[in-house]
Amino acid sequence: MLSEFSVAGMVCPNNVFLAPMAGYTNYPFRTMCEGLGAGLAFTEMVSAKGLHYGNEETRLLLYHGPQTAAPAAEKPHRPIAAQIFGSDPDIMREACESEELGDFDLIDINMGCPMPKVTRNGEGSALMDNMPLAEKIVAACAKSGKRISVKFRTGVVPARKVTREFAKMCEGAGASMITVHGRTADKIYAGPCDFEEIAAAKEAVSIPVVANGGVWNRKDADKILKMTGADAVMVARAALYDPRVFAELCGGERPPLLPIFLRQLHETEELYGPRFALVFMRKMAAFYIKGTHGAAAYKRRLFEAQTTAEVEALAREIWQ
């Protein structure tokens, strides 16, 4: 299953990717997953309009590490990817051409988010019901000269599945890669992944296809790649519950969780401050302890914690 992956001249260490997840895939989480084996990690979904209007919180979502003065030839390069969303082709192209996205090797266009706060503006998965506009957006972004991918679902509802047609449109408009989440938007994350629809997309295009949906372990990843013929697999919720899944997917064993959690906690606090780190890492720890003996009691104590030091102490108690 595991293999080197390349798209339009961008080479990734392997074909196991971390999905963009709003509210979760910040810089410390992305680097943690890459350290555990992920071949490519995407930023949280970023608003093109937010960049247009200079929103500072939007810019912070794109943080990708401290910049050094070392010559480019001396810097070890690992591809980085950002995801943007919007419905205005000109503003989307402007975002692709912006300084904030200048260092990113790949820019992904979100056309799959099913959340009402996104779709009611005609963005995210709503674009699957507006293919002419979706095509204009992809074409505009491609004209920026950046390497472009598109992430979408099989359709908005089961009665209107458009996977094959949408895949062909993306390729024709200039996308270098597509990611297909094998569910319709109305299903959110419920129900089985539709392998046939992902396979249909793979058959319809010559660009790389990434399969997304229902990958929780090595067996799931092997199955989805075998059943769809996809070139890579994208992991989402499984990484939230246990980021060590990438170690397993890349052929290793899941390492101890405590040092991984503590590093994430300290890096999150250093970058975003103690208040954000407290709220965010309580949430992450709640994911990580799912299935642990006494998880309900630990979770209650976790959300009673008022400092990151208390969260750290509880983590040591749980995983020591």
Contact 184, 153 (CB under 8 A): yes
Whether residue 180 contacts residue 146, with contact meaning beta carbons closer than 8 Å, is answered with: no
> What is the H or E stretch that residue 28 is in?
helix 27-35
* Cβ neighbours, 10 Å, residue 102: 9
- Both tokens of 319, joined, read 């995983």
Q: Are 224 and 195 in contact (CB under 8 A)?
A: yes
Residue 183 CA to residue 191 CA, distance in Å, equals: 8
* Integer CA distances (angstroms), 38 to 3, 15, 48, 171, 228, in order: 12, 8, 26, 25, 20
The CA distance from 155 to 201, in Å, is 12
Nearest to 39 by CA among 59, 20, 11, 64: 11
Check 12, 33, 96, 113 and give the catalytic one. Answer: 113
How buried is residue 242: exposed, middle or buried, by Cβ count under 10 Å (0-12/13-18/19+)? Answer: buried
C-alpha span between 26 and 42 (Å, rounded): 9
Nearest to 15 by CA among 240, 232, 311: 232
- H or E segment at 194? none
Active site residue 141: no
Active-site amino acid positions:
113
